[in-house]
Structure 1
Amino acid sequence: MKPILKKSVDSVVYSFTLKELVEPHFDPNWHFHPHYQLFTVLEGSGTRFIGDNIRHFEAGDTVFLGPNIPHLWQSDRVYFDHNSGLQTHGIVIYFTEDFLGDGFFEKSEMHPLKQLLEKGERGLDIFGGTRDYIRHELQNLHQYEGFERVLKFLAMLHELSQSNECSYIASFGYVNTHKVSETERMQKVHEYVMKHFKEEVRLSELASLVSMSESAFCRYFKSRTNKTFFDFIAEIRIGHACKLLHEGSLNITQVAYESGYNTISNFNRQFKDITGKTPFMYQKEYIKGIR
């Protein structure tokens, strides 16, 4: 499949686009588009790439993204098996800043919503009661038509603008510097890493794959993602480890080896550097949170 960098999601009929996504796996293409996006995952798990942020996702993941933030919800490999019987399910709204006309969000009454749009430029993770509210409203929005649908959507944006149950996704100062001409190159990087992160990732092999020298690739990757390539690998491995810790079927040593680490000490160090917690504490807090 040809990689997609820009994605057309406009509606020729409505002021905003509401889509229910039910597929064997989420769109495997790394892309961005000039729309705001409110998205929730109802079924599915994998690795989420948004801007310069990487993390594990599962059902419940709910985000608000501003325009032109590169993103990808990469489903776990099992979702690509023809006989898995699994499916992914999500609901998304796409809209532009002028979806209610030029200057609508510049009015004084709209100041909180304008601030929300500005925060969305780094992407927002939504959690707690606000997440529950947004997920419920997204699942029921298709029942409404016309002006009532617009009102419901504006109420959702208002709730988000008033909530403190949101956290930034991309790092401070993140800017999308990707170009259309780089689509295939970055897609190859993502695909290669997702296929090989459990084993030794050879920089020389990947650099050759995208027709660059090792040093040129490292400079290129750092300039586009705000992180080194090896930090990128570590975040993918730790994201996978978080998923395994959630499942609880493996002990911590087994999780380390299944995530591409040859020594438990290196795993523990990188896990704490990225999550701020030891693997044991992370798993303990997760189990406590779902009880």
Structure 2
Amino acid sequence: MRSYLEKLPDTEDGSFKIMNRCLEEGIPFSWHHHPEYELTLTLNSTGQRYVGDHVAEYGDADLVLLGPNLPHTWASSGKLDERAPYVVLVIWFEPDWIERITFGMPELAGVRKLFQRSLAGLSFSEEARYRVVPKIRSFFEESSLERLFIVLRVLAELSEDEQAVQLAHDPVVLSSADGGNERIDRVLTLIHSEYSRVLPLEELAETAALSVSGVHRLFQRHTGQTVSEYLKRIRIGDACAQLSGGEAPIAVIAHNVGYSALANFNRQFRAVKGMTPREYRAQFRR
């Protein structure tokens, strides 16, 4: 499984990018990431949701807010109404836009905190979804100005959801303090596409056009993690998807995600998930 860098469509008449997608054949597994925040509502669909190292079953009106560069996908397994299509409604937010609208505005302090909480992904409670899903559905039928008002109302209501659940174990926190976004984007893209093999720091340094010590400092400054810790999270996330959705032997999965020694895979999996790979798989076989 590889996470590719998704390039989002341009929006000429609004402050954010949107997608209203109706699918007859189901929501395909497509592991990807992008530098924007993402609010996704899935309708008439059940299946599995993958966010970083988190895998869970989802149902109708699944509503999730994802932070930048957090690998994710949905994979449907069925419909609630066979006569209707699968529906995916998505709103993408540029980090700079969030910064601009919340900076210095006390009325939006809760929204600012909401996006900070979403860096590892947030799944919202049934009560919150009941309040905002009709607004999100109407959003796609409105003018660009009315969409802005609806988005602010939706975000304000979601910011009050104390039952929202963090999804991934760790966020991907990108800092733009030193203007190194282009470099870190290149490094993350390489890691997300090639994490199942050995990735020497020298190769990452070449990708970023930095020294080895420079890329190490860049990565830790932008993500808050070392390269090895980040790689572990990505590999374990891939392993979770394969364990929950397939029948491949655990040793094969360990090799697929970049572990040459099964014992090391088992040890690192337990460190991240708090259980063995076999115990994790058993949760999806009940």
Q: State the TM-score, normalized to the length of structure 2.
A: 0.64
User: CA 1:137–1:17 in structure 2 vs 1: closer, same or farther (change >3 Å)?
Assistant: farther
User: CA 1:195–1:20 in structure 2 vs 1: closer, same or farther (change >3 Å)?
Assistant: closer
User: CA 1:138–1:166 in structure 2 vs 1: closer, same or farther (change >3 Å)?
Assistant: farther
Cα distance, 1:259 vs structure 2 = 1.0
Partner of 1:38 in structure 2?
39
Percentage of pairs with the same residue = 22
Cα distance, 1:206 vs structure 2 = 2.1
Q: Please, which of 223, 228, 238 is the counterpart of residue 236 of structure 2?
A: 238
Tell me the distance in 1 between the aligned counterparts of 2:140 and 2:193: 41
Partner of 2:137 in structure 1?
140
User: CA 1:186–1:263 in structure 2 vs 1: closer, same or farther (change >3 Å)?
Assistant: same
Structure 2 counterpart SS, 1:212: coil
Number of aligned residue pairs: 253
Are 1:193 and 2:188 counterparts? no
Tell me the distance in 2 between the aligned counterparts of 1:221 and 1:159: 31
**Aligned pairs (5 A) from 1:200-239:** 200-239=198-237
Tell me the distance in 2 between the aligned counterparts of 1:272 and 1:128: 28
Contact 2:20 2:90 in 1 (8 A): yes
Cα distance, 1:221 vs structure 2 = 1.1
Cα distance, 1:200 vs structure 2 = 1.7
**Aligned pairs (5 A) from 1:52-91:** 54-55=52-53, 60=58, 62-64=63-65, 70-73=68-71, 89-91=88-90
Q: What residue ranges of structure 1 are gaps of 5+ in the alignment?
A: 49-53, 77-86, 107-112
Tell me the distance in 1 between the aligned counterparts of 2:279 and 2:164: 23
Cα distance, 1:11 vs structure 2 = 4.7
**CA deviations over 1:18-68 (Å, ceiling 9, x no partner):** 722559998967425xxx7533467999975xxxxx435789574336xxx
Partner of 2:79 in structure 1?
none
Structure 2 counterpart SS, 1:92: strand
Are 1:166 and 2:165 counterparts? yes
Partner of 1:248 in structure 2?
246
* RMSD after superposition: 4.8
**CA deviations over 1:66-105 (Å, ceiling 9, x no partner):** xxx64354669xxxxxxxxxx99541265858979x95x6
User: CA 1:175–1:151 in structure 2 vs 1: closer, same or farther (change >3 Å)?
Assistant: closer
User: CA 1:272–1:169 in structure 2 vs 1: closer, same or farther (change >3 Å)?
Assistant: closer
Structure 2 counterpart SS, 1:38: strand
Contact 2:243 2:281 in 1 (8 A): yes
Contact 2:174 2:222 in 1 (8 A): yes
Partner of 1:125 in structure 2?
122
Tell me the distance in 2 between the aligned counterparts of 1:202 and 1:115: 41
**Aligned residue type for 2:197:** E
Cα distance, 1:226 vs structure 2 = 0.7
Tell me the distance in 1 between the aligned counterparts of 2:48 and 2:180: 27
**Aligned pairs (5 A) from 1:261-280:** 261-280=259-278
Partner of 1:92 in structure 2?
91
Tell me the distance in 1 between the aligned counterparts of 2:224 and 2:111: 24
Structure 1 counterpart SS, 2:180: helix
Partner of 2:77 in structure 1?
none
Structure 2 counterpart SS, 1:71: coil
**Aligned residue type for 2:224:** N
Tell me the distance in 1 between the aligned counterparts of 2:250 and 2:131: 34
Structure 2 counterpart SS, 1:161: coil
Tell me the distance in 2 between the aligned counterparts of 1:227 and 1:193: 14
**CA deviations over 1:107-166 (Å, ceiling 9, x no partner):** xxxxxx743542432315114535764785466224764799757973674355144133
Q: State the TM-score, normalized to the length of structure 1.
A: 0.63
**Aligned residue type for 2:40:** F
Partner of 1:110 in structure 2?
none
Partner of 1:19 in structure 2?
18
Cα distance, 1:213 vs structure 2 = 2.1
